[in-house]
Amino acid sequence: MISSKIPSRGQGTDESPQLHLMQPRESCTVLPTTESQKAHSEADSSQFRQDHLVRYDLVNSTSKQRDRRPASATLKDWGLETAGIIVSAVIIIAIIVILRKYNGRQQQDWKHISLNSLVSWLSTLAKACVIFSVSQGIGQLKWVWFSKRSRLLYDLDVFDSASRGATGSAFLLWLVKGRDTALLGSLAMVLAIGFDPFIQNLVHYVPGSIDSPSEISLLGSTSLYNTVGPLSGGGLFYVDPILKANVYSALFNTNPAQPWAVPQYTCSTGNCTWAPMATVEIRALCSNLTSTLSTSCTDGPGFTNCTVSLNSGVALWYLTGGGFARPMVINTVSGSSKTFYKNSTFPVIQYILAIGSNDNPAVGGGISTQIGKSTQFVATECALQPTVRSFQSSVIMGVYHETQLAEWPVLNDTVENLSFAYSFTPPWNESLGAEESQTFGLAFEAWKSLTFFLNYLFAGYVSAASDIFNFDPLNLGSSYATADALEAIFYGNFTGTNCQDADQLSCTMKNVAAAMSKTIRDSAFTYSTSYQPTEFTKAKTTTGKAQIYASFVDVRWVWLTLPIIVWVLGALSCLCTAWMTHQAHIQTWMNSVLPLLFLHLHRDSTIDFQGGGDEIVGVQLREQTRNESDASKCYSLVGCDNSLEGCIRIAKRAKAKLQPGP
């Protein structure tokens, strides 16, 4: 049993431990008397034990006579708590401002602290401020709770635990069942568990690229192409060896990466971008001529000779008995022999192919036995044409990408510069990579060498007989690999080059055009032999932007939801508690225990704490007989002032000691 009394003169000492409160003389102390002690009857104590409930009323017998406290006094009592809410709000706003500033930017390389660390420190301070205010608010709510009506004394412990952390707040939520203002503060304390994890999930880092001025990125373009190979004679040049190599690669190399089509570039980081550029290129145009094919057969001794031909004179023939056949023929035509591309600047190429004759390379001369009157044939006409193309390029992780912006294939009616064989003046500006009224063109020497190259390379036929299978050029003594080109066209597999056309020639010529375009653009890097001084081949390299990988800040704003909810609940909890305190006309005691310790000093009450073991502790308040003069001298619970400041003032001059009994 614990007995808490201030011993009076002549009173015996209880055998149990005692809590002695010693006050200075100037305090208004009301000492218990022997008569007041006897007033605790056995009937009263028995009633407490039978109920097994302890109810405590903080509103003393003079509650109806208490003066109404002004609102300004209540607000003054909540100064620190208000400051905590405001500081917490300012810090949360500061976090938002900081993250908005750095969101999407490169990860900062600060010397002594990182962005995550800064946000973590700020969030910890914001949480501490709001939790301090919420804790004080919950502590004050217990006084409001008991001021309304008599409550279970156990509720004091629930409120006290709730003001200390999330576990106690969970019990308080169960106590109030969501029907009291304590719900706000309790929820804030419980949800505050996730305050730090949510803040830490705010900042993420994603990979991105930034421009690096120290890295090199170059890409070529050509406005006037006049690059040729060695002199052949009579003012005629062989084709540029680099162009020839690229065209051969386009014919034989079916690599899906198409190295013969990717222009040369320099990108030291593997990630580069360039502004729009314009250059001279070659494009391929193809049309189907199958509907114009004509077949004629002539009977001979023991065989029938059939000829399949076009209006231009390009023709193949076969013997119906299977003794001999030309399953494919290809040749260049000019002038009126052209069917679709009569204005082509280069020779038009036509071919005829026996469908299915090239399906099996292992058959060889046996192909002749597969061709007869039931065989279907396909014919195609293709033209290579110079053009001006605007594009924008990029290299991503070492892979070249290109987007076409515009194309201008319209030739100028007149050529102002005699060095041009063909010229173009697209109506473009810098947005498409060209200067206003800039002229692009193909010079005479380059045009002549390309014409000679195409006339010899794409002119021949395939011969098949019982023991014969040849790729024969039409021009004997050709300077170029005509037989190899015929083989590549006849047996070429263009699936890897993503060609969607149904015939061999269309896919071949598109690859050849891409290889020629690459060569023209690469003149700025390769720069082979030029017929004229270097200024007549106008090629340049354009510097782009090289990117390097870096980490960028990515703020996931949704994770800020819970910290804001905690702050809102905390602010509402303190605001409502302050208002209820003012309405209840009670003091702002918050979490202080001093009002409970000094309660027995009330001017007309005395307290006995009694009980032991499993007994229920009873608390009784008894009126004392006092004259009006004594009552006027000592008015409140603690000393002469029932405010928290009064309690603290008295506590600073009072001493207490817990002593074991004798």
Give the C-alpha separation, 235 to 216, whole Å.
40
Give whichever of 165-174, 272-281, 644-653 has the largest mean pLDDT.
272-281
The pair of three-digit structure tokens given for residue 136, joined into one six-digit string: 């004080």
Q: Residue 80's Cα: distance from chain center in Å?
A: 41
What is the residue-wise DSSP string for 333-377? E-GGG-SS-TT-SS-EEEEEEETTTTS-TT-GGGGGGG-STT--E
| Of 480, 486, 429, 435, residue with least CA distance to 455 | 480
The reported pLDDT for the residue numbered 31 is 37
Per the prediction, the chain carries an average pLDDT of: 78
pLDDT in tens, 445-473: 899 999 999 999 999 999 999 888 999 99
For residue 267, is it within any domain?
yes
Cα–Cα distance, 250 to 241 (Å, whole number): 14
In single-letter form, the type of residue at position 395 comes to: V
| Within-domain flag for 279 | yes
- The encoded tokens of residue 148 equal 């309304």
Domain that holds residue 415: 217-293+325-362+372-549
Rounded to an integer, what is the distance from CA 249 to the centroid of its chain? 41
Phi, psi of 55 (to 5 degrees): -115, 140
Band of pLDDT at residue 598, cut at 50, 70 and 90: low
Beta carbons within 8 Å of 571's beta carbon, 6+ residues apart: 85, 89, 130, 133
Of 53, 40, 64, 127, which is closest to residue 564 (Cα–Cα)? 127
Same domain membership, residue 602 and residue 489: no
Predicted pLDDT at 578? 81
Q: Is residue 512 predicted with pLDDT exceeding 80?
A: yes
Of 549, 577, 601, which closes a domain? 549
- For residue 332, tell me if it sits in a domain: yes
Q: Is position 16 within any domain?
A: yes
What letter represents residue 350's amino acid? Q
| pLDDT tens, residue by residue, 182-206 | 778 778 888 888 898 999 899 999 8
Residue type present at position 568: V
Same domain, 538 and 574: no
Instruction: Looking at the structure, tell me whether residues 256 and 332 fall in a common domain.
Output: yes
Closest CA to 591 of 575, 570, 611, 577: 577
**H/E stretch holding 659:** strand 655-659
pLDDT at 65: 38
Per-residue confidence at 101, pLDDT binned at 50, 70, 90? very high
Query: Residues 462, 603: one domain?
Result: no
- Residue 614 or residue 136, greater confidence: 136
- Confidence check: pLDDT of 264 > 70: yes
| Domain-embedded: residue 48 | no
DSSP reduced 3-state for 170: helix
Same domain, 267 and 383: yes
Which domain-ending residue is among 519, 549, 579?
Answer: 549
pLDDT of residue 163: 75
Q: Is residue 350 part of a domain?
A: yes
**CA 540 remoteness from chain centre:** 37
Specify the residue for token string 């890295």.
215
- Are 522 and 428 in the same domain? yes
Which residues, in sequence order, are bridge partners of residue 324?
Answer: 465
What are 173's two structure tokens? 């939520």
Residues in the chain, overall count = 662
CB 432 within 8 A of CB 405: yes
Q: Which CA distances in Å does 229 have to 233, 321, 448?
A: 12, 47, 11
In a domain? residue 210: no
If we measure between CA atoms, which residue out of 141, 129, 131, 132 comes closest to residue 183? 141
Mean pLDDT over 528-554 rounds to: 75
CB 138 within 8 A of CB 190: no
- What is residue 131's three-state secondary structure? helix
Asked whether the beta carbons of 408 and 304 are under 8 A apart, the reply is no
List the single range of 185-189, 485-489, 571-575, 630-634 with lowest mean pLDDT: 630-634
pLDDT of residue 329: 96
Query: Do 228 and 196 share a structural domain?
Result: no
Q: Say if pTM beats, i.e. exceeds, 0.75.
A: no
Distances (CA, A) of 236 to 332, 448, 450, 453, 617: 19, 7, 10, 11, 122
* Cα atoms in the 13 Å half-sphere on the side-chain side of 356: 10
pLDDT tens digit sequence for 412-426:
887 666 678 889 999
* Rg of the chain in Å (alpha carbons): 50
Per-residue pLDDT of 320-329, as tens digits, reads 877 899 999 9
pLDDT higher than 60, residue 591 = yes
Are both 524 and 435 inside the same structural domain? Answer: yes
DSSP for 573-631, please give it: HHHHHHHHHHHHT----TT-SHHHHTGGG-TT-----B--TTPPPB---------HHHH
Q: Which of 243, 508, 487, 492 is nearest to 349 (CA)?
A: 508
* pLDDT score recorded for residue 47: 44
Tell me whether residue 3 is in a domain. Answer: yes
Q: Are residues 579 and 620 in the same domain?
A: no
**Res 516: pLDDT:** 96
Average pLDDT over every residue of 323-344: 88
Helix/strand/coil percentages in the chain, nearest 5? 40, 25, 35
- Choose the weakest-confidence range: 160-164, 535-539, 564-568: 535-539
Q: Which helix (H) or strand (E) holds 409?
A: none
The total number of structural domains that make up the chain: 3
Q: Is the pLDDT of residue 581 over 60?
A: yes
How many whole angstroms separate alpha carbon 189 and alpha carbon 194? 10
Identity of the amino acid at 316: L
Same domain, 263 and 380: yes
Question: Could you tell me which residues come within 8 angstroms of residue 466 by beta carbon, excluding any fewer than 6 positions away?
Answer: 323, 365, 366, 368
Contacts of 481 (CB under 8 A, 6+ apart): 248, 457
Nearest to 220 by CA among 282, 284, 274: 274
Range from 33-47, 193-207, 566-580, 607-621 carrying the lowest mean pLDDT: 607-621
Q: Which range (123-127, 553-557, 577-581) has the least confidence?
A: 577-581
Among candidate residues 462, 469, 419, 466, the one with its CA nearest the CA of residue 440 = 419
Residue 560: which H helix or E strand, with range?
none
Three-class SS state of 13: coil
The string over 375-388, giving b where at least 16 C-beta atoms fall within 10 Å of a residue's C-beta and e elsewhere, is: bebbbbbbbbbbbb
Q: Quick one: angle between helices 561-584 and 115-148, nearest 10?
A: 30
Helix (H, G, I), strand (E, B) or coil at 403: strand
pLDDT at position 424: 93
Distance CA 575, CA 565 (A): 15
* Per-residue tokens: 51: 């109920």
Q: Are residues 456 and 531 in the same domain?
A: yes
Higher pLDDT, 268 or 65: 268
> In this structure, are 516 and 638 located in the same domain?
no
Amino acid (1-letter code) at residue 618: G
Ramachandran category for residue 543: left, alpha or beta (phi over 0 → left; psi -120 to 50 → alpha): beta
Residue 224 β-bridge partners: 441, 538
Burial class (CB in 10 A: 0-12, 13-18, 19+), 34: exposed
Which pLDDT does position 641 carry in this prediction?
Answer: 53
